[in-house]
């Protein structure tokens, strides 16, 4: 599932109260050639997204809002849907630095993400309340009331493909598709810049985890990916920041923001800083840095998913929606960083299966 849909789907799944056959309309098959232009505010201030696909190749362009007084840096990611590999770079740079990786499942396809979300909406007993034309789409409008927060969710669903055109929680618009074209995108969009054409071989997830943990890949799993079988047994979490390769503790000169609210939909902001100086706001996030003891932050009775933001001041930050996996009554969650002085060198979120 694409990241822009995953948080809302997780929120809706946790709040599920009934299964209703209200979203069973038959739609046309999703196109394999298209351009989608959308605005997403799932995780903070609105950012522009353009998704291009032509068969087995896809490109996602993201233009984030300016942050911390600096100009926004766009990111282009090219996906090979057959090889399950991707390459990312700054399309405005003359000699961009390139990153490569692998992926499994949905890479960010808005049609697949819409189908996943519609399935979750059905569990909420969502009811059709209107038919409306919006942004050039003919849509059916569905609503449901989330019982815990008493917040009304409204969803506009394209009547042709079942595409989620707009998502709204209360007065907040989380996502809106502004344009869809089924014409073939320009071939130039799918061309790699020269700097990205001879990258080192892409490591598998097992190889990456082995590098992170000093060779023990089987004892760890990624924490930012939703497991195929979610953990149903509760547990507490011991969160630690460690160095890649050795798993040695990183000196506590970072700040940690935590949001345990299952109904928060992002919109976080942070004033950059180290422990005691970072200012977290938005949703239910709060600074929990003072709770760190002996290098660990303990989260009692962790919910099925929660949000963590670790700020290293000018060195950068790492933030993710974490999916709980309980391997022991207290299970260890690691943020593995390659270089605490330069977070852009890489960081991964891992659960320890040994519980330590």
Phi/psi for 196 (5° steps) reads -105, 5
Do the Cβ atoms of 69 and 294 come closer than 8 Å?
no
Phi/psi for 190 (5° steps) reads -95, 10
How many domains is the chain partitioned into structurally?
2
Do residues 190 and 315 share a domain? no
Phi/psi for 127 (5° steps) reads -120, 140
Do residues 56 and 181 share a domain? yes
Do residues 184 and 212 share a domain? no
Residue 122 confidence (pLDDT): 72
Q: What is the pTM of this model?
A: 0.60
Neighbouring-strand partners of residue 131: 140
DSSP sequence for 32-50: SEEEEEEEE-SSSS-EEEE
Do residues 163 and 271 share a domain? no
- Look up the CATH number of the domain holding residue 225: 2.60.40
Domain that holds residue 117: 3-196
* CA angle in degrees (0–180, nearest 5) for 166-178-47: 85
Do residues 190 and 126 share a domain? yes
Q: Please enumerate in sequence order all residues whose Cβ is within 8 A of that of 234, keeping only pairs 6 or more positions apart, or say none.
A: 301, 302, 326
Do residues 191 and 209 share a domain? no
Out of 155, 172, 196, pick the residue that ends a domain. 196
* pLDDT by position in tens, the chain (length 356): 333 444 444 334 333 322 333 444 578 999 999 999 999 887 677 889 999 999 999 999 998 876 555 567 899 999 999 988 899 999 988 888 888 888 877 789 999 988 887 777 777 778 899 999 999 999 999 998 877 667 888 999 999 999 999 999 888 898 999 999 999 999 999 999 998 888 877 777 888 899 999 988 899 999 998 887 777 888 999 999 999 999 999 998 899 999 998 666 567 888 877 777 778 888 889 999 999 999 999 999 999 999 999 999 888 889 999 999 999 999 999 999 999 998 888 899 999 998 66
Distances (CA, A) of 248 to 236, 251, 279: 22, 9, 27
Out of 196, 213, 233, pick the residue that ends a domain. 196
Do residues 95 and 161 share a domain? yes
Do residues 214 and 169 share a domain? no
Tokens of 292: 């760190």
Do the Cβ atoms of 258 and 303 come closer than 8 Å?
no
Do the Cβ atoms of 175 and 110 come closer than 8 Å?
no
- Look up the CATH number of the domain holding residue 71: 2.50.20
Distances (CA, A) of 331 to 9, 206, 234, 322, 328: 25, 20, 10, 13, 5
Residue 104 confidence (pLDDT): 74
As to burial, measured by CB atoms within 10 angstroms (0-12 exposed, 13-18 middle, 19+ buried), residue 347 is: buried
At which residue do the structure tokens 């995108």 appear? 185
HEC letters along 202-271? CCCHHHHHHHHHCCCCCCEEECCCCCCCCCCCCCEEEEEEEECCCCCECCCCCEEEEECCCCCCCCCEEE
Tokens of 232: 């149903």
Out of 196, 219, 240, pick the residue that ends a domain. 196
Do residues 227 and 191 share a domain? no
CA 337 to chain centre: 19
Q: How far apart are CA 204 and CA 60, in angstroms?
A: 22
Listed residue (127, 172, 175) closest to 149, CA to CA:
172
Listed residue (256, 242, 319) closest to 292, CA to CA:
256
Do residues 174 and 210 share a domain? no
Do residues 325 and 348 share a domain? yes
CB atoms within 10 A of CB 133: 9
Do residues 27 and 176 share a domain? yes
Q: How far apart are CA 250 and CA 163, in angstroms?
A: 44
Do the Cβ atoms of 100 and 86 come closer than 8 Å?
yes
């Amino acid at each position: 599932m694409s990241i822009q849909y995953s948080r809302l789907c997780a929120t809706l799944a946790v709040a599920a109260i009934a299964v209703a056959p209200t979203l069973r309309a038959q739609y046309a098959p999703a196109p394999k050639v298209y351009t989608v232009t959308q605005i997403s505010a799932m995780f903070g201030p609105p950012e522009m997204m353009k998704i291009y696909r032509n068969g087995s190749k896809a490109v996602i362009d993201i233009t984030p809002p300016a942050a911390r007084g600096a100009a926004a840096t766009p990111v282009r990611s090219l996906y090979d849907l057959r090889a399950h590999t991707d390459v990312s770079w700054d399309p405005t740079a003359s000699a961009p630095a390139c990153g490569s990786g692998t992926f499994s499942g949905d890479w960010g396809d808005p049609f697949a993400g819409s189908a996943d979300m519609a399935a979750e909406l059905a569990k909420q007993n969502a009811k059709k309340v209107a038919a409306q034309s919006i942004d050039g789409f003919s849509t059916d409008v569905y609503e449901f009331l989330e019982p815990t927060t008493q917040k009304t969710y409204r969803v506009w669903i394209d009547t042709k493909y079942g595409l989620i055109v707009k998502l709204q929680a209360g007065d907040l618009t989380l996502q809106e598709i502004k344009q869809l074209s089924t014409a073939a995108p320009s071939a130039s969009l799918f061309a790699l810049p020269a700097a990205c054409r001879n990258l080192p071989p892409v490591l598998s997830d097992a190889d990456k985890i082995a590098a992170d943990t000093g060779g023990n890949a089987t004892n760890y799993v990624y924490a930012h990916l939703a497991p195929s079988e979610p953990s149903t047994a509760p547990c507490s979490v011991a969160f630690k920041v460690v160095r890649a390769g050795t798993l040695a503790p990183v000196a506590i000169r970072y700040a940690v923001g935590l949001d345990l609210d299952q109904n928060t939909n992002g919109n976080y902001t942070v004033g950059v800083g180290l422990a005691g100086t970072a200012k977290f706001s938005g949703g239910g996030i709060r600074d929990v840095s003072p709770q760190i003891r002996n290098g660990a932050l303990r989260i009692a009775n962790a919910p099925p998913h929660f949000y963590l933001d670790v700020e290293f001041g000018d060195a950068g930050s790492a933030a993710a929606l974490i999916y709980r996996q309980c391997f022991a009554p207290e299970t260890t969650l690691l943020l593995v960083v390659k270089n605490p002085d330069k977070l852009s060198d890489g960081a991964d979120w891992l659960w320890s299966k040994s519980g330590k």
